Amino acid sequence: MAVGQKRKRPASDPVPTAAKPASKLTKTITHTVIANSGLKGEGEKAKTEDAVERQQLLDLIASSPTTTPFEKRVLSLLCQIPRGRVSTYGLLSARLGSSPRAVGGALRRNPFAPRVPCHRVVAAGGGLGGFKGAWPRDGVGITLDEKRKLLRGEGVKFDAKGRVLGTPWGEFV
């Protein structure tokens, strides 16, 4: 095989896992879940509405002529992350058998943001990472402020250093 040429993995090969064990990826982040209002039937109605919206988003992603098959897989996984929860680039990449950078690249090109919630993906240490393809300068940036605002609107809490509190969600199907 030529130097620099990638080998295609046969479909029968097992999917590679992340370089770090999941326990290290999930070590420092904890989550906050939005509390239910307590009204009977409201929780079931919300679940039904979420399922309908999720299916609409999946249909939108599948029919997109501008996204690659890999981007469609990444965006489809995003739809599984519940409102008020976050996941990490590492957890998504482990599920997809790719690298966190590849996942970040696909999120940067998300044409459906914020409906397809790329803002719910953070760095392994709870930092916000990049958003809309931009990294912060000195910890601040308009795009990160926007990401923080979207997450706060969903009930996600932050520590004094601006890191997300809670355990990242990784129950991908």
Every domain of the chain and the residues it spans: 22-33+41-153
pLDDT digits (tens, 9 = 90+) for 150-173: 999 999 999 999 999 999 999 998
Q: Which residues of 127-152 are buried (b: 16+ CB within 10 A; e: fewer)?
A: bbbbbbeeebeeeebebbeebbebbe
- pLDDT tens by residue, the chain, 173 residues: 555 555 555 555 555 444 444 444 333 333 333 333 344 456 677 778 878 888 999 999 999 999 999 999 999 999 999 999 999 999 999 999 999 999 999 998 999 988 999 999 999 999 988 765 555 566 555 578 888 999 999 999 999 999 999 999 999 98
Residues in a beta bridge with 134? 131
Under a CB-based contact definition with an 8 Å cutoff, are residues 67 and 109 in contact?
A: yes
C-alpha 97/C-alpha 83 separation (Å) is 24
For the whole prediction, is pTM greater than 0.75? no
**Structure tokens that stand for 28 in this block:** 């420092």
Return the CATH number of the domain spanning residue range 22-33+41-153. Answer: 1.10.10.10
Task: Exactly one of 29, 57, 81, 118 is catalytic; name it.
Answer: 118
For residue 88, the cross-strand partners are 122
Told to judge if 118 belongs to the known catalytic residues of this protein, a careful annotator would answer yes
CB neighbour class for 63 (10 Å; exposed up to 12, middle 13-18, buried from 19):
exposed
